[in-house]
Copies of this chain bind each other. A is one copy, B any other.
């Protein structure tokens, strides 16, 4: 971005202040999950609330509105200043989107939303523990009603689900998702059923004790392949792994360790490493503007799934990494060959739990949630019927019946948080990853050989050059078109899975 435009730079200054507050918010959240003493939780809530309030004030305040209106017509989106570069135009477009989203919800609504969802999260924890859907149901009813109200406030043309998903995945719609997931549904179920008729790989060697210190040593190796460095990153242990970033120079990965299942650690580390790489590859130069922000949740997820599944569950990857792992755990892996190990990594996991499942089943778990939450929002499904419908769909899509609601419709916290419209991005992430990878593999037909030799830099460079460096310069659909020459489709993903599991 050129710095010759006074109005533009003033807007950027205000935006940079918001970005700094968001970094602070990230640190508060990271610390809460890693190093904060347990009794600090109540005070932390107060700190988080204050910072959230300061961010909201700045995003919706008169200062920001005035600065934005000096650059762009808020109603029509027509630029008011001349000589903006294409990048600057994109930044202004995204600033306008953020301002519009932040101001369309009145403060009274925001408060009701925040009160209900924090209460609901507590109720959900309790309800899940006792597997009592009836405890959570009245809260879910109120959340659905608030989501419907939110959809009305944000406005939509075709379906009330549209503005909800758009918040996480710009421009994505109910109609598009219905088409994408519709095309995915049948072939995935068919592939999965076919695989289930085969002999399942022997994973018994994984069910031994793998010491946590050595797992973490190996996790750092894996993270190093993805691009994690001590200079730009921290790594800590948590129950629910995540990645947060304060700045392209300061990304925080967390992972988990289960001494009885080392794959949990390796795959979680690769997954969060993928998120990390996206964040640290965002542009330092444009920091504080949308050009240095991740473009969407699905593209973010595509980066984590790229490393966790397409690369991290591939034969070439373990060709390089397995000897190292074997050196760390010679006893546990005695007599286990590379092929047997890779088969175990890719074994189907027959579980009703989304986050424990395998690559082939994953999107089916997501499609189930999409079908249910969109029906709740448009009123075609009532909350009271949720458990029944959940279990029916689970049977239909995955052939599994959850033992109880705790392991069924109560397993995810998302709805309690009000995150309706978020789930599809998990499946889209897989689709996008495969579509990006298809383009990557055409540019680098020797990728398997190089990864097998432990070369990773060319892959990281490709991701940075084609995806990360752009930030929000392109909308997600534009980015897909720009990089892959196609709009999002399930083709590459299905091709990838079919080829891999044939």
A250 touches which of B37, B230, B233, B236 (Cβ 8 Å): B37
Tally of this chain's copies: 2
A234 at the interface (CB under 8 A from B): yes
A350 at the interface (CB under 8 A from B): no
The residue in chain B whose Cβ has the minimal distance to the Cβ of A17 is B50
The residue in chain B whose Cβ has the minimal distance to the Cβ of A46 is B20
Most chain B beta-carbon contacts within 10 A, residue among A23, A42, A249, A250 = A250
A31 at the interface (CB under 8 A from B): yes
The residue in chain B whose Cβ has the minimal distance to the Cβ of A50 is B20
A54 at the interface (CB under 8 A from B): yes
Report the interface size for chain A: residues with CB under 8 A from the other chain.
36
A335 at the interface (CB under 8 A from B): no
A43 touches which of B17, B39, B51, B250 (Cβ 8 Å): B250
Smallest CB separation, A286 vs chain B (Å): 14
The answer to whether residues A233 and B37 also contact, given A31-B31, A43-B250, A249-B43 and a CB cut-off of 8 A, is yes
Most chain B beta-carbon contacts within 10 A, residue among A43, A54, A234 = A43
Task: Report B-chain residues with C-beta under 8 Å of the C-beta of A28.
Answer: 24, 27
A247 at the interface (CB under 8 A from B): yes
Task: Report B-chain residues with C-beta under 8 Å of the C-beta of A233.
Answer: 37
Task: Report B-chain residues with C-beta under 8 Å of the C-beta of A250.
Answer: 36-37, 39-40, 43-44
Interface string of A210-245 (1 = CB under 8 A from B): 000000000000000000011111101000000000
Q: How far is the CA of A428 from the CA of B103 in the complex (A)?
A: 55
Task: Report B-chain residues with C-beta under 8 Å of the C-beta of A51.
Answer: 24
The residue in chain B whose Cβ has the minimal distance to the Cβ of A247 is B43
Task: Report B-chain residues with C-beta under 8 Å of the C-beta of A232.
Answer: 37, 39-40
A35 at the interface (CB under 8 A from B): yes
A353 at the interface (CB under 8 A from B): no
The answer to whether residues A246 and B43 also contact, given A31-B31, A36-B234 and a CB cut-off of 8 A, is yes
The answer to whether residues A230 and B24 also contact, given A43-B247, A249-B42, A250-B43 and a CB cut-off of 8 A, is no
A47 touches which of B20, B230, B287 (Cβ 8 Å): B20
The answer to whether residues A47 and B24 also contact, given A40-B250, A247-B40, A249-B42 and a CB cut-off of 8 A, is yes
A38 at the interface (CB under 8 A from B): yes
A21 at the interface (CB under 8 A from B): yes
Q: In residues 245-273 of chain A, which contact B (Cβ within 8 Å)?
A: 246-247, 249-251
A37 touches which of B20, B44, B249 (Cβ 8 Å): B249
The residue in chain B whose Cβ has the minimal distance to the Cβ of A31 is B27
Task: Report B-chain residues with C-beta under 8 Å of the C-beta of A287.
Answer: 43
The residue in chain B whose Cβ has the minimal distance to the Cβ of A20 is B50
The residue in chain B whose Cβ has the minimal distance to the Cβ of A49 is B20
Residue contact A23 to B43, C-beta cutoff 8 Å: yes
A39 touches which of B39, B44, B50, B231 (Cβ 8 Å): B231
A sample of 13 more A-B contacts (CB under 8 A), given A37-B230, A39-B231, is: A17-B50, A20-B50, A27-B27, A27-B31, A35-B35, A36-B250, A37-B229, A37-B251, A40-B246, A40-B249, A43-B247, A43-B287, A44-B250
